[in-house]
Amino acid sequence: MERADLEKMTIIKLREYALEKHPGIQGVSGMKKEDLVEAIIAEEMKFGLRPKEVKGAAPAPPKVGDLKAKVRALKGDRDKALAGKDGAGLKTIRTKMKRLKRQIRKLKQVS
């Protein structure tokens, strides 16, 4: 299982997976999600089930202008959802907009 797949799983599913597939890992029930993912990967590398991962440089943080462009695009989608009376789609779009705006505020605080 890839790292991305492990990170997408909930902590409950990760614990079940670790107990089922990797009984050698100690303290599964008390681990945090990040620690559990690392322990599973380490266990798989130990037994040769996974090639060594090369940790590259962290991805560059998004630029404020790019995030604002995404918000503008979502506003157009929001208007379409309003016109089409798509409540579920509208909620998803508003959530995405809220997250992007939060990222913009955080980036502006750092600057």
Domain contains 101: yes
Does 34 fall in a domain? yes
- pLDDT value at residue 60: 77
Q: How far apart are CA 22 and CA 40, in angstroms?
A: 7
For residue 55, being part of any structural domain is answered with: no
Same domain assignment for residues 103 and 72: yes
pLDDT of residue 39: 92
Q: How many angstroms separate the CA atoms of 66 and 24, rounded?
A: 45
Give the model's pLDDT for residue 46. Answer: 85
Q: Is 42 helix (H, G, I), strand (E, B) or coil?
A: helix
Q: Based on the domain organization, do 70 and 106 belong to the same domain?
A: yes
Shared domain for 101 and 73, answered yes or no, is yes
Question: Which domain does 68 fall in, by range?
Answer: 64-110
Residue 51: inside a domain, yes or no? Answer: no
Cα distance from N-terminal residue to C-terminal residue, the chain: 38
9-64 per-position pLDDT tens digit:
999 999 999 999 998 899 999 999 999 999 999 888 888 877 776 666 667 788 99
Count the domains in the chain.
Answer: 2
**Whole-angstrom distance, CA of residue 100 vs CA of residue 78:** 14
Residue among 48, 42, 53 at smallest CA distance from 18? 42
